[in-house]
Structure 1
Amino acid sequence: MLQNLYVKNLALIEELDMEFTEGLNILTGETGTGKSILMGSIGLALGGKYAADMIREGAESGLVELTFLVQDPQQQKKLQDLGVETEEDQVILSRKISGKRSVSRINGETVQKSRLSDVASLLIDIHGQHEHQSLLQKKNHLEILDSFIGEKAFEKKREIRHCHQEYHRLRRKLEQGSARSANSGRELDLLLYEVKEIEEARITPKEDMELEKTYHKMLHGKRIRDALWETVRYTREGGESAGDALSRGVRSLAAVADLDGEVDSLYQQLVQIEGLLEDFHRDLDHCSHSLEFSPEEFEETEERLNLLNHLKAKYGASVEEILEACQKKKEKIAILKDFDGYLKRLEDKVKETGRILHEKAGELSELRREYAARLEPMIEEGLRDLNFESVVFQISLEEANACTADGIDEAEFMVSLNPGQSPKPLIRVASGGELSRLMLVIKTITARKGQTDTLIFDEIDVGISGRTAQKVSEKMAVIGKHHQVLCVTHLAQIAAMADTHFRITKTTKEDSVKTQISRLNEKEQVEELARILGGAKITEAVRKNASEMKELAFQIKSDI
């Protein structure tokens, strides 16, 4: 459930903080007051597109923050699968925009916009002003059916997509193999030469690093030896060396060390220093001996390095990459030595993968036909509830020319809105208002099957009035019994059904215009209904009508 919406510095909104409730939350207001901006802000927080001019004039950035209460264990598990942990059963989604840049966060952690959208899809479903027009595209009909089927369809589609990718990967490999068949002899000769060149070098892992180290030491050997010999002269050889002076100091303190505790401590420290110097001289001798090499050794090391660098230039940046390249070339040689057999095995794999792909697509097709038969009467019943007195709804499923990542089906919604007429493609016969009502029915059914707690309907009343509007309002009340609903409307019949009613207004102060929102009490709700009904002049008769409408709505909701 959406608990809170916070918006700052977006379009006409300077700062807005809204607390929503369970059930049907209705938002009304005059045209141009900012209702669409408010809905757009929610869409923005859920990962929608934005433009720099959405930021309120004079502000550097805009912010939208949504706080959701998530108490359903299954929904919490799905969020965990997406890497989101609830904090005190809450999830906070936010989006900050500044210039051409936006930052998305979940519970304060910066995330990619795509991940924000994935999480949002579990929490909320938005029906925008023009979303019903998506029904005019046949490809969306199949998506609606799959959404109704739910996880069974999504699991099958995941399998099909994986198989579809593998099938086309193997086909490309087969096509490439067939194309290089004529040149396979030349390619085999080259590979044999390259493998021979690498193997004759007899290189070992990390050999290049050890050689570089040795070569560097040889290259600078004289300079290093001179420095070491000079160090020996200062610390060990000659009467003035540090070693001789230290020995004399040790002998001097040894004579009096047992006469005083503090002197004895100093004596022990000096003995340790003498020992450290002896250890240093041993390491110095070892280092000096390691620098002893002949000109022949230097030449051999240099030649070996040149060979390795030559192989690196051809086969890889390191010895390990060269060895890996050699192994891959051997695998290609094995293929090319039996290239006809390789192509035959690859062709068999393509056929087998294609068979599995069509088998899985067939399983999904059967599932779609089963659920289409369930969905058709549900949509018919929903449409009758919305004042379609005589309606026939069918889902036509036909086999496509080729199997895609979504299977082998093409779906199209067929509808008859008048008695005696055979069902025809929805795209050809439905008006905007009829499409809007059909989308409302679809959203109601899919929401009932899914676990999305919050539904948003932005001006669901497009193209309807009178008795149809009353039917739509009753449908919204039914949905509000099982889900949290946010609905922007211009119709009094729908607004009267509100469990919680918000009024959006626009105020002008000096050179500044801003949108404000207020939650209405019972008396204010009646007054708002009267405004919607009465237009420019609100009479007592209009107020009485509004009050009766609110009472009737209360009775209808009590009977649901």
Structure 2
Amino acid sequence: MLRELSIHQFAIMEEVHLSFSDGFHVLTGETGAGKSILIDALGLILGGRASSEFVRYGADKAEIEALFELSPTHPVHPLLIEWGLECDETLLIRREIAASGKSICRINGRIVTLFMLRQIGKKLIDIHGQHEHQSLLDNDEHVEWLDSFAGTELLTIRHQYSQIFAEYQQVEKELARFRTNQQELEHRLDLLAFQKEEIEQANLVEGEDLELEQERNRLSYAEKLLNNASRAYHLLYGDHQGLDLIQKALFHIEDILSLDERLASVYELMQSSYYQLEESIHQIGKYRDELEFDPKRLGEIEERMHLIKQLKRKYGSSIEDILAFQAKVEQEIEELTEREWVEDQLLKKSEQLKKQLLELADQLTALRKKAASQLENRVEQELADLNMRSTIFHVAFESSSTLSSIGQDQIEFQIAPNPGEPLRPLAKVASGGELSRIMLALKCIFTDINQIHTLVFDEIDTGVSGRAAQAIAEKIAVVSKHNQVLCVTHLPQVACMADHHFYISKETQAGKTRTQVNLLDFEGRTNELARMLGGAVLTQTTHQHATEMLRMAELVRKKV
């Protein structure tokens, strides 16, 4: 439950600190005093969108802190554990909004994302205001209310259904692509066939571009290579040339060895070099003899290299890349060629998924109808407590042949407020006061389901007066027996039923407007109720009436 709320430099609130207890808290004050601003501050604590407009004029930033007391089994604990946020029995949420609009969220001192704060906030406080009446007029929301009421069994099946439905939608999307893009696929197939044929006709071999370049160089410089090879051969081999002179030197050294063996090692080196040089001369001669200038072959090489260059420009920077591209093209051609088979498989998959969806949709419908009957009884009981005893509440079903994300059911809440009247949609028959009471009835029912034990009602009693206002006040008092309730109201009937009464006022000093929040004692409550009953001028009659209301409210609270 919410225990402390501190607000600093927020809108017209300069410095406000509130302490909350168990039970029913009411917040009253004149229009424009800042009651809605207080609710806005709570909304930001729960992950609402921040704006620089929230920062008090002239301040650098606005700060809001809320301290919550948690039971060991509170549903927020699993999330805190998942995110590694330490928490025992208290949870401190802090929100800072800079004048630039930048916002910082902290939970127990650690910075968290806005998403994390919203996930936490959903489990801490349920804020309900006038605008939420619109959800009662939206038929799409009715199925959400009903499914939440139905509970775990239905929600489990619905989750299973939604997963299969997502897969079904993907299959249908693929089928649509096959059907609507037939011409585009044919064009794609023609392009792929051309690319495949162009690469195949080239008969590429990995590494041949390097070999071709070397061969082209040999042919282009054949004359120069031949001259150099011939001169080198002539210098090494022939009368009185390199090899012949080395051989003569060996003869002379051999004669020396017969008289002095100290040159034996030199002789061995020269003899080895002679044989190596002889082999080298042989290789040079062979190289020289193989050299030829062939203009025709050079032209063929140039043409081949040009072809490879063109293919590289289209399909890759190397022959390896081109061949890899060819393999990819062949794979895609195979897939497109077999598209009829693929389409057939998708059709079978679609039919299989649709069959599963229809079975689950039937289960959802059966569970919804069972839950609808129970919800109708519960809402009518709650409405009876809210001075709408003759009202018939009905959950209408209309089955659709089209599968949607929630099944085949279209749900609509209908009421007949008076005996003898036909059932009609809420939007056509419900007044603002009736919508407030229906919403309160639903909130009372869903409080235990949602396990959120701090409820905020922001002027949900708008458009209500008389006995209906008294009924709302008593119902909120009943809810507050097991939940912490904060209620912003203009109705004295509601205000008098509270366990704790805060009065919100504003004052102007030195040209600046400030909001103040004060917890009222019995006398203060009496004066505030008198103001709510009689306006700006307090009379003895309104004061007596206010005193009587508080005493009667005390008796009523003991009975509820």
Whether TM exceeds 0.5 here: the answer is: yes
Residues 144-223 of structure 1 correspond to what in structure 2 (within 5 A)?
144-178=145-179, 179-180=181-182, 182-183=186-187, 185-186=189-190, 189=193
Residues 103-114 of structure 1 correspond to what in structure 2 (within 5 A)?
103-114=104-115
Aligned-residue offset at 1:447: 0.7
- Indicate how the Cα distance of structure 1 residues 109 and 327 shifts in structure 2: closer, same or farther if over 3 A, else same: farther
Aligned-residue offset at 1:524: 2.3
Q: Partner residue of 2:63?
A: 63
CA distance in 2, matches of 1:434, 1:558: 27
Kindly indicate whether residue 87 of structure 2 is the aligned counterpart of residue 92 of structure 1. Answer: no
Residue 186 of structure 1 aligns to which amino acid in structure 2? D
- Indicate how the Cα distance of structure 1 residues 366 and 327 shifts in structure 2: closer, same or farther if over 3 A, else same: farther
SS at match of 2:130: coil
- Taking only the aligned residue pairs, the percentage that are identical comes to 36
- Indicate how the Cα distance of structure 1 residues 113 and 520 shifts in structure 2: closer, same or farther if over 3 A, else same: same
SS at match of 1:127: strand
Residue 143 of structure 2 aligns to which amino acid in structure 1? L
Residue 512 of structure 1 aligns to which amino acid in structure 2? K
Residues 9-88 of structure 1 correspond to what in structure 2 (within 5 A)?
9-73=9-73, 75-80=75-80, 83=83, 85=85, 87-88=87-88
Q: Partner residue of 1:214?
A: none
> Conserved in 2, the CA contact under 8 Å of 1:76 and 1:85?
no
- Indicate how the Cα distance of structure 1 residues 336 and 123 shifts in structure 2: closer, same or farther if over 3 A, else same: same
- Indicate how the Cα distance of structure 1 residues 477 and 163 shifts in structure 2: closer, same or farther if over 3 A, else same: same
Aligned-residue offset at 1:37: 0.8
CA distance in 1, matches of 2:199, 2:96: 57
Aligned-residue offset at 1:195: 10
Q: Partner residue of 1:348?
A: 348
CA distance in 2, matches of 1:135, 1:122: 22
SS at match of 1:363: helix
> Conserved in 2, the CA contact under 8 Å of 1:82 and 1:119?
no
Instruction: Identify unmatched segments of 5+ residues in structure 1.
Output: 204-306
Q: Partner residue of 1:249?
A: none
Q: Partner residue of 2:475?
A: 475
Aligned-residue offset at 1:64: 2.1
Aligned-residue offset at 1:105: 3.0
Aligned-residue offset at 1:92: 2.6
- Indicate how the Cα distance of structure 1 residues 453 and 201 shifts in structure 2: closer, same or farther if over 3 A, else same: farther
> Conserved in 1, the CA contact under 8 Å of 2:142 and 2:413?
yes
What's the TM-score, normalizing by structure 2?
0.73
Residues 29-52 of structure 1: CA distance to partner in whole angstroms, max 9, x if unpaired? 111110011111111222223443
- Indicate how the Cα distance of structure 1 residues 86 and 544 shifts in structure 2: closer, same or farther if over 3 A, else same: farther
- Indicate how the Cα distance of structure 1 residues 52 and 315 shifts in structure 2: closer, same or farther if over 3 A, else same: farther
Q: Partner residue of 1:262?
A: none
Q: Partner residue of 1:544?
A: 544
SS at match of 2:157: helix
Residues 390-539 of structure 1 correspond to what in structure 2 (within 5 A)?
390-400=390-400, 402-539=402-539
Residues 373-397 of structure 1: CA distance to partner in whole angstroms, max 9, x if unpaired? 1100111111111111311110112
- Indicate how the Cα distance of structure 1 residues 26 and 111 shifts in structure 2: closer, same or farther if over 3 A, else same: same
Aligned-residue offset at 1:192: 5.8
> Conserved in 2, the CA contact under 8 Å of 1:157 and 1:405?
no
Q: Partner residue of 1:383?
A: 383
SS at match of 1:475: helix
- Indicate how the Cα distance of structure 1 residues 335 and 418 shifts in structure 2: closer, same or farther if over 3 A, else same: same
Aligned-residue offset at 1:551: 1.9
SS at match of 2:25: strand
- Indicate how the Cα distance of structure 1 residues 196 and 58 shifts in structure 2: closer, same or farther if over 3 A, else same: farther
Residues 404-425 of structure 1: CA distance to partner in whole angstroms, max 9, x if unpaired? 2232221111111111112111
- Indicate how the Cα distance of structure 1 residues 188 and 94 shifts in structure 2: closer, same or farther if over 3 A, else same: same
Instruction: Identify unmatched segments of 5+ residues in structure 2.
Output: 208-307
CA distance in 2, matches of 1:145, 1:508: 49
Q: Partner residue of 1:338?
A: 338
Residue 96 of structure 2 aligns to which amino acid in structure 1? K
- Indicate how the Cα distance of structure 1 residues 548 and 477 shifts in structure 2: closer, same or farther if over 3 A, else same: same
- Indicate how the Cα distance of structure 1 residues 363 and 93 shifts in structure 2: closer, same or farther if over 3 A, else same: farther
> Conserved in 1, the CA contact under 8 Å of 2:380 and 2:389?
no
CA distance in 1, matches of 2:420, 2:375: 22
Aligned-residue offset at 1:184: 6.8
CA distance in 2, matches of 1:143, 1:102: 32
CA distance in 2, matches of 1:545, 1:382: 29
> Conserved in 2, the CA contact under 8 Å of 1:139 and 1:411?
yes
Q: Partner residue of 2:144?
A: 143
- Indicate how the Cα distance of structure 1 residues 108 and 407 shifts in structure 2: closer, same or farther if over 3 A, else same: farther
CA distance in 1, matches of 2:68, 2:326: 56
> Conserved in 2, the CA contact under 8 Å of 1:25 and 1:502?
yes
How many residues of Structure 1 are paired with residues of Structure 2 in the alignment? 456
SS at match of 1:48: coil
Residues 352-391 of structure 1: CA distance to partner in whole angstroms, max 9, x if unpaired? 1222223323322222211111100111111111111311
SS at match of 2:75: helix
CA distance in 1, matches of 2:449, 2:138: 23
Residues 272-421 of structure 1 correspond to what in structure 2 (within 5 A)?
332=332, 335-400=335-400, 402-421=402-421
Residue 146 of structure 2 aligns to which amino acid in structure 1? L
Residue 521 of structure 1 aligns to which amino acid in structure 2? D
Aligned-residue offset at 1:553: 1.5
Residues 328-373 of structure 1: CA distance to partner in whole angstroms, max 9, x if unpaired? 7676455345332222112111221222223323322222211111
SS at match of 1:367: helix
Say what the alpha-carbon RMSD is for the aligned residues.
Answer: 3.4
- Indicate how the Cα distance of structure 1 residues 382 and 510 shifts in structure 2: closer, same or farther if over 3 A, else same: same
Aligned-residue offset at 1:72: 4.5
> Conserved in 2, the CA contact under 8 Å of 1:24 and 1:484?
yes
> Conserved in 1, the CA contact under 8 Å of 2:41 and 2:64?
yes
Q: Partner residue of 2:118?
A: 117
Residue 29 of structure 1 aligns to which amino acid in structure 2? G
> Conserved in 1, the CA contact under 8 Å of 2:392 and 2:417?
yes
CA distance in 2, matches of 1:398, 1:533: 47
- Indicate how the Cα distance of structure 1 residues 13 and 194 shifts in structure 2: closer, same or farther if over 3 A, else same: farther
- Indicate how the Cα distance of structure 1 residues 430 and 336 shifts in structure 2: closer, same or farther if over 3 A, else same: same
Aligned-residue offset at 1:119: 1.5
Aligned-residue offset at 1:558: 1.4
Residues 416-455 of structure 1: CA distance to partner in whole angstroms, max 9, x if unpaired? 1111112111110111111111111111111122211111
Greater CA radius of gyration, 1 or 2? 2
SS at match of 2:141: helix
- Indicate how the Cα distance of structure 1 residues 12 and 152 shifts in structure 2: closer, same or farther if over 3 A, else same: farther
Aligned-residue offset at 1:484: 0.7
> Conserved in 1, the CA contact under 8 Å of 2:189 and 2:333?
no
Q: Partner residue of 2:256?
A: none
> Conserved in 2, the CA contact under 8 Å of 1:469 and 1:494?
yes
> Conserved in 2, the CA contact under 8 Å of 1:195 and 1:330?
no
> Conserved in 1, the CA contact under 8 Å of 2:193 and 2:333?
no
Residue 549 of structure 1 aligns to which amino acid in structure 2? M
Residues 179-236 of structure 1: CA distance to partner in whole angstroms, max 9, x if unpaired? 3453575366378679989x98889xxxxxxxxxxxxxxxxxxxxxxxxxxxxxxxxx
Residue 193 of structure 2 aligns to which amino acid in structure 1? D
CA distance in 1, matches of 2:549, 2:198: 88
Residues 480-518 of structure 1: CA distance to partner in whole angstroms, max 9, x if unpaired? 011111001111111111111111111111111110111
> Conserved in 1, the CA contact under 8 Å of 2:72 and 2:89?
no
Aligned-residue offset at 1:540: 3.5
